[in-house]
Amino acid sequence: HFLLGALQSNSEKSYLDALKSFRIECNAQGIQFQQLGPEEQDWILAEHILALHDRDPNLRTKAVYLVAAITKINPTRRFKAAQRVLLSWGTEMTKREAPPMPKDLLLAIVVWLHVHERPVVATVILIWFSGLLRVSEVLNLVRRNIVMCETAAILILDRTKRGQNETVVLTNMSVIK
């Protein structure tokens, strides 16, 4: 398995751990994985991934490492069924996106810019990150397209990547004031 040796040490450990667990499972079921044909290996691997999913949906990373390790060991084979199972597992997971910048850091930058007499830049950065806008959206924003209310600021975006005249509503009171 010289291809596994080319990995960084932490990746190599994750690959080897996934392989070890898979071998233990195969041995417990009396399956000699390496003796099977390519199609049978693919189905056994896909079934193992389904079992991991049923056991704990948080084991997807382990399943990804396993498929990657087996693919590195057998670089000429395609494990289509296993890949499809992994893909469908990935699509059912909710995406957890990190905010582009922690709120405290954003407010610190805005305050710093105001102290250094850069209120326009401070306002642009505040709107940009608070509204999760693209650079082009914030740069194309004009004053007439910002509607201020008591509890919200409404941004009307003329030119967006997704379409015309989209709106973004900012409700964070520290941003609105």
In this predicted structure, the answer to whether residue 2 has a pLDDT above a threshold of 50 is no
* pLDDT score at 163: 63
* pLDDT score at 126: 86
Predicted structure pTM score: 0.50
- pLDDT confidence band for 26 (50 / 70 / 90): very high
User: In degrees rounded to 5, what are phi and psi of residue 120?
Assistant: -70, -45
% of the chain residues with pLDDT over 90: 23
In this predicted structure, the answer to whether residue 40 has a pLDDT above a threshold of 90 is yes
Please give the structure tokens belonging to residue 77. 């084979």
Cα 40 to Cα 116: distance, rounded to the nearest angstrom: 67
Cα 81 to Cα 38: distance, rounded to the nearest angstrom: 11
* pLDDT score at 45: 93
Summarize pLDDT for 58-90 with one digit per residue, the tens: 888 888 889 888 888 888 888 999 988 888 877
* pLDDT score at 46: 93
Cα 8 to Cα 177: distance, rounded to the nearest angstrom: 49
